[in-house]
Structure 1
Amino acid sequence: MNYLILVSHGQFSEGLRDALSMFIGDDIEQVRAIGLKSGEDTTNFGSRFKSLLSDIAPDDGLIVLGDIIGGSPLTTVTDILNQQQRLSETIVLGGMNFPMALNAAILKNTMSGDDLVSAVLHEATTAVKQFELIEADEDEDEI
Protein backbone atom coordinates (compact mmCIF):
# COMPACT_ATOMS: atom_id res chain seq x y z
CA MET A 1 0.00 0.00 0.00
CA ASN A 2 1.16 3.55 -0.65
CA TYR A 3 0.64 6.42 1.75
CA LEU A 4 0.60 10.15 1.07
CA ILE A 5 2.04 12.20 3.93
CA LEU A 6 1.36 15.95 4.02
CA VAL A 7 3.90 17.98 6.01
CA SER A 8 3.66 21.68 6.82
CA HIS A 9 4.10 24.57 9.15
CA GLY A 10 0.99 25.05 11.28
CA GLN A 11 -2.30 23.41 10.35
CA PHE A 12 -1.97 23.73 6.57
CA SER A 13 -1.46 19.99 6.06
CA GLU A 14 -4.43 19.05 8.27
CA GLY A 15 -6.68 21.49 6.39
CA LEU A 16 -5.47 20.15 3.06
CA ARG A 17 -6.20 16.58 4.19
CA ASP A 18 -9.69 17.64 5.22
CA ALA A 19 -10.31 19.21 1.79
CA LEU A 20 -8.94 16.09 0.04
CA SER A 21 -11.45 13.93 1.92
CA MET A 22 -14.24 15.62 -0.04
CA PHE A 23 -12.71 14.35 -3.29
CA ILE A 24 -11.18 10.95 -2.53
CA GLY A 25 -13.62 9.44 -0.05
CA ASP A 26 -12.41 6.30 1.72
CA ASP A 27 -8.91 6.63 0.23
CA ILE A 28 -8.36 9.40 2.78
CA GLU A 29 -7.27 6.64 5.19
CA GLN A 30 -4.06 6.42 3.16
CA VAL A 31 -3.38 10.14 3.61
CA ARG A 32 -1.67 11.37 6.76
CA ALA A 33 -1.04 14.97 7.78
CA ILE A 34 1.26 16.58 10.30
CA GLY A 35 2.18 20.17 10.96
CA LEU A 36 4.83 21.84 13.09
CA LYS A 37 2.87 23.77 15.71
CA SER A 38 3.73 27.35 16.57
CA GLY A 39 6.38 27.29 19.32
CA GLU A 40 6.93 23.53 18.99
CA ASP A 41 10.51 22.29 18.83
CA THR A 42 11.60 19.88 16.14
CA THR A 43 12.34 17.14 18.69
CA ASN A 44 8.69 17.00 19.75
CA PHE A 45 7.55 17.31 16.14
CA GLY A 46 9.85 14.42 15.22
CA SER A 47 8.34 12.28 17.97
CA ARG A 48 4.86 13.00 16.66
CA PHE A 49 6.00 12.09 13.15
CA LYS A 50 7.41 8.77 14.38
CA SER A 51 4.01 8.04 15.97
CA LEU A 52 2.30 8.89 12.68
CA LEU A 53 4.51 6.29 10.95
CA SER A 54 4.07 3.62 13.62
CA ASP A 55 1.22 1.76 11.91
CA ILE A 56 2.62 2.05 8.38
CA ALA A 57 4.47 -1.12 7.37
CA PRO A 58 8.17 -0.73 6.43
CA ASP A 59 7.44 -2.06 2.93
CA ASP A 60 4.58 0.39 2.29
CA GLY A 61 5.38 3.16 -0.17
CA LEU A 62 5.59 6.77 1.00
CA ILE A 63 5.00 9.97 -0.92
CA VAL A 64 5.77 13.05 1.17
CA LEU A 65 4.54 16.48 0.15
CA GLY A 66 5.93 19.41 2.11
CA ASP A 67 4.97 23.05 2.11
CA ILE A 68 8.56 24.31 1.78
CA ILE A 69 11.72 22.46 0.73
CA GLY A 70 14.33 23.23 3.39
CA GLY A 71 11.78 24.16 6.07
CA SER A 72 12.03 22.64 9.55
CA PRO A 73 9.01 20.33 9.19
CA LEU A 74 10.20 18.71 5.97
CA THR A 75 13.86 18.49 6.99
CA THR A 76 12.85 16.85 10.28
CA VAL A 77 10.68 14.34 8.43
CA THR A 78 13.41 13.51 5.90
CA ASP A 79 15.98 13.12 8.71
CA ILE A 80 13.71 10.60 10.45
CA LEU A 81 12.99 8.73 7.24
CA ASN A 82 16.74 8.59 6.60
CA GLN A 83 17.38 7.24 10.12
CA GLN A 84 14.76 4.56 9.48
CA GLN A 85 16.38 3.77 6.11
CA ARG A 86 13.17 4.68 4.26
CA LEU A 87 14.26 7.92 2.59
CA SER A 88 15.82 6.37 -0.51
CA GLU A 89 12.51 4.68 -1.36
CA THR A 90 10.35 7.73 -0.55
CA ILE A 91 9.23 10.38 -3.04
CA VAL A 92 9.62 13.82 -1.45
CA LEU A 93 8.22 16.94 -3.13
CA GLY A 94 7.94 20.53 -1.91
CA GLY A 95 5.72 23.48 -2.71
CA MET A 96 2.57 21.58 -1.80
CA ASN A 97 -0.74 22.85 -3.13
CA PHE A 98 -4.22 21.34 -3.46
CA PRO A 99 -3.99 20.19 -7.11
CA MET A 100 -0.61 18.58 -6.35
CA ALA A 101 -1.97 16.75 -3.29
CA LEU A 102 -5.13 15.63 -5.09
CA ASN A 103 -3.15 14.25 -8.02
CA ALA A 104 -0.73 12.46 -5.69
CA ALA A 105 -3.61 10.97 -3.70
CA ILE A 106 -5.34 9.70 -6.83
CA LEU A 107 -2.23 8.40 -8.63
CA LYS A 108 -0.23 6.98 -5.70
CA ASN A 109 -1.40 3.41 -6.29
CA THR A 110 -1.37 3.43 -10.09
CA MET A 111 1.89 5.23 -10.91
CA SER A 112 5.36 5.19 -9.39
CA GLY A 113 8.81 6.69 -9.63
CA ASP A 114 9.56 9.33 -12.24
CA ASP A 115 6.15 8.95 -13.88
CA LEU A 116 4.37 9.80 -10.63
CA VAL A 117 6.72 12.70 -9.91
CA SER A 118 6.21 14.14 -13.41
CA ALA A 119 2.44 13.86 -13.24
CA VAL A 120 2.20 15.40 -9.77
CA LEU A 121 4.59 18.27 -10.51
CA HIS A 122 2.92 18.96 -13.86
CA GLU A 123 -0.47 19.30 -12.18
CA ALA A 124 0.98 21.43 -9.38
CA THR A 125 2.46 23.96 -11.79
CA THR A 126 -0.22 24.07 -14.48
CA ALA A 127 -2.92 24.71 -11.89
CA VAL A 128 -1.23 27.94 -10.77
CA LYS A 129 -2.56 30.78 -12.90
CA GLN A 130 -4.37 34.06 -12.66
CA PHE A 131 -8.16 34.01 -12.79
CA GLU A 132 -9.47 36.13 -15.62
CA LEU A 133 -13.04 37.27 -16.14
CA ILE A 134 -14.03 36.92 -19.79
CA GLU A 135 -16.74 39.27 -21.00
CA ALA A 136 -19.46 37.70 -23.16
CA ASP A 137 -19.97 39.20 -26.63
CA GLU A 138 -23.18 41.18 -27.00
CA ASP A 139 -23.96 39.15 -30.13
CA GLU A 140 -24.04 35.97 -28.04
CA ASP A 141 -26.71 37.46 -25.75
CA GLU A 142 -29.13 37.95 -28.67
CA ILE A 143 -29.44 34.27 -29.54
Structure 2
Amino acid sequence: YAASLIAARLCFGHLPDRLGGARVAAIFVTVEAAGLLLIWLAPGPFLGATGAALTGFGYSLVYPGLGTEAVRHLPGGSRGLAMGLYTIFPDLALGLGSPALGLIAASSGLDFVFLAAAAAVLPASAIALSLHRRYSISPIWSP
Protein backbone atom coordinates (compact mmCIF):
# COMPACT_ATOMS: atom_id res chain seq x y z
CA TYR A 1 0.00 0.00 0.00
CA ALA A 2 2.50 2.60 1.15
CA ALA A 3 5.09 1.86 -1.53
CA SER A 4 2.56 2.17 -4.35
CA LEU A 5 1.08 5.33 -2.81
CA ILE A 6 4.50 7.00 -2.63
CA ALA A 7 5.53 5.82 -6.10
CA ALA A 8 2.27 7.06 -7.64
CA ARG A 9 2.61 10.49 -6.02
CA LEU A 10 6.19 10.77 -7.23
CA CYS A 11 5.41 9.63 -10.77
CA PHE A 12 1.94 11.08 -11.29
CA GLY A 13 1.70 13.95 -8.81
CA HIS A 14 1.59 16.45 -11.66
CA LEU A 15 -1.67 15.09 -13.08
CA PRO A 16 -4.09 17.21 -11.00
CA ASP A 17 -2.38 20.34 -12.34
CA ARG A 18 -2.43 19.10 -15.92
CA LEU A 19 -5.78 17.35 -16.12
CA GLY A 20 -7.75 18.92 -13.29
CA GLY A 21 -8.00 17.59 -9.77
CA ALA A 22 -11.61 16.42 -10.02
CA ARG A 23 -10.95 14.32 -13.12
CA VAL A 24 -7.85 12.75 -11.57
CA ALA A 25 -9.65 12.11 -8.27
CA ALA A 26 -12.55 10.40 -10.07
CA ILE A 27 -10.19 8.04 -11.88
CA PHE A 28 -7.97 7.29 -8.91
CA VAL A 29 -10.81 6.73 -6.42
CA THR A 30 -12.18 4.12 -8.82
CA VAL A 31 -8.78 2.38 -8.77
CA GLU A 32 -8.79 2.60 -4.97
CA ALA A 33 -12.24 0.98 -4.80
CA ALA A 34 -11.13 -1.75 -7.23
CA GLY A 35 -8.17 -2.48 -4.97
CA LEU A 36 -10.43 -2.75 -1.93
CA LEU A 37 -12.76 -5.08 -3.82
CA LEU A 38 -9.80 -7.21 -4.87
CA ILE A 39 -8.74 -7.54 -1.23
CA TRP A 40 -12.32 -8.50 -0.34
CA LEU A 41 -12.39 -11.19 -3.04
CA ALA A 42 -8.77 -12.36 -2.73
CA PRO A 43 -8.46 -16.10 -2.16
CA GLY A 44 -4.84 -15.79 -1.07
CA PRO A 45 -2.04 -13.44 -0.09
CA PHE A 46 -0.81 -12.59 -3.60
CA LEU A 47 -4.12 -11.13 -4.75
CA GLY A 48 -4.59 -9.53 -1.34
CA ALA A 49 -1.23 -7.78 -1.66
CA THR A 50 -2.07 -6.79 -5.24
CA GLY A 51 -5.31 -5.29 -3.97
CA ALA A 52 -3.43 -3.40 -1.27
CA ALA A 53 -1.03 -2.00 -3.88
CA LEU A 54 -3.95 -0.92 -6.08
CA THR A 55 -5.64 0.66 -3.09
CA GLY A 56 -2.54 2.69 -2.25
CA PHE A 57 -2.01 3.65 -5.88
CA GLY A 58 -5.62 4.75 -6.16
CA TYR A 59 -5.71 6.73 -2.94
CA SER A 60 -2.45 8.49 -3.82
CA LEU A 61 -4.03 11.21 -5.95
CA VAL A 62 -7.56 11.35 -4.54
CA TYR A 63 -6.58 13.60 -1.66
CA PRO A 64 -4.34 15.95 -3.70
CA GLY A 65 -6.80 15.99 -6.59
CA LEU A 66 -9.76 17.00 -4.47
CA GLY A 67 -7.55 19.39 -2.51
CA THR A 68 -6.67 21.14 -5.75
CA GLU A 69 -10.37 21.60 -6.43
CA ALA A 70 -11.07 22.79 -2.88
CA VAL A 71 -8.92 25.88 -3.45
CA ARG A 72 -9.02 26.37 -7.22
CA HIS A 73 -11.71 29.05 -7.39
CA LEU A 74 -10.95 30.84 -4.12
CA PRO A 75 -9.10 34.11 -3.70
CA GLY A 76 -5.55 33.76 -2.44
CA GLY A 77 -6.40 35.00 1.05
CA SER A 78 -8.94 32.21 1.57
CA ARG A 79 -6.95 29.24 0.32
CA GLY A 80 -5.14 28.54 3.59
CA LEU A 81 -8.39 28.41 5.53
CA ALA A 82 -9.98 26.22 2.87
CA MET A 83 -7.05 23.77 2.98
CA GLY A 84 -7.18 23.75 6.76
CA LEU A 85 -10.83 22.81 6.67
CA TYR A 86 -10.22 20.29 3.89
CA THR A 87 -7.52 18.50 5.90
CA ILE A 88 -9.97 17.90 8.75
CA PHE A 89 -11.92 15.35 6.72
CA PRO A 90 -9.36 12.51 6.62
CA ASP A 91 -9.08 12.76 10.41
CA LEU A 92 -12.86 12.79 10.71
CA ALA A 93 -13.09 9.75 8.42
CA LEU A 94 -10.54 7.87 10.53
CA GLY A 95 -12.27 8.85 13.75
CA LEU A 96 -15.72 7.76 12.60
CA GLY A 97 -14.87 5.10 10.05
CA SER A 98 -12.50 3.01 12.16
CA PRO A 99 -15.05 2.17 14.87
CA ALA A 100 -17.73 1.58 12.23
CA LEU A 101 -15.48 -0.80 10.33
CA GLY A 102 -14.60 -2.50 13.62
CA LEU A 103 -18.29 -3.16 14.21
CA ILE A 104 -18.60 -4.57 10.69
CA ALA A 105 -15.59 -6.84 11.29
CA ALA A 106 -17.03 -8.04 14.60
CA SER A 107 -20.46 -8.77 13.17
CA SER A 108 -19.74 -9.91 9.61
CA GLY A 109 -16.07 -10.84 9.46
CA LEU A 110 -12.91 -9.08 8.39
CA ASP A 111 -13.52 -9.64 4.67
CA PHE A 112 -16.58 -7.42 4.74
CA VAL A 113 -14.54 -4.49 6.03
CA PHE A 114 -13.01 -4.18 2.56
CA LEU A 115 -16.38 -4.41 0.83
CA ALA A 116 -17.76 -1.71 3.13
CA ALA A 117 -14.69 0.48 2.55
CA ALA A 118 -15.10 0.15 -1.22
CA ALA A 119 -18.77 1.05 -0.92
CA ALA A 120 -17.82 4.07 1.19
CA VAL A 121 -15.17 5.47 -1.17
CA LEU A 122 -16.82 4.78 -4.52
CA PRO A 123 -19.36 7.63 -4.24
CA ALA A 124 -16.40 10.03 -4.20
CA SER A 125 -15.93 9.22 -7.88
CA ALA A 126 -19.44 10.43 -8.69
CA ILE A 127 -18.88 13.55 -6.59
CA ALA A 128 -15.59 14.28 -8.37
CA LEU A 129 -17.20 13.78 -11.79
CA SER A 130 -20.01 16.08 -10.75
CA LEU A 131 -17.48 18.74 -9.76
CA HIS A 132 -15.69 18.31 -13.05
CA ARG A 133 -18.88 18.69 -15.09
CA ARG A 134 -20.40 21.44 -12.99
CA TYR A 135 -17.48 23.81 -13.08
CA SER A 136 -16.07 22.88 -16.50
CA ILE A 137 -12.74 22.59 -14.80
CA SER A 138 -9.80 23.38 -16.96
CA PRO A 139 -6.21 22.56 -16.07
CA ILE A 140 -4.22 25.16 -14.16
CA TRP A 141 -1.57 25.13 -16.85
CA SER A 142 -1.12 23.46 -20.20
CA PRO A 143 1.91 21.41 -21.22
In terms of fraction of residues, the more strand-rich structure is 1
- Give the TM-score of the pair, scaled to structure 1: 0.27
More helix by share: 2
Please, what TM-score do these two structures have when normalized by structure 2?
Answer: 0.27
Asked which structure has the greater RCO (Cα within 8 Å, sep 6+), the reply is 2
| Bigger Cα Rg | 1
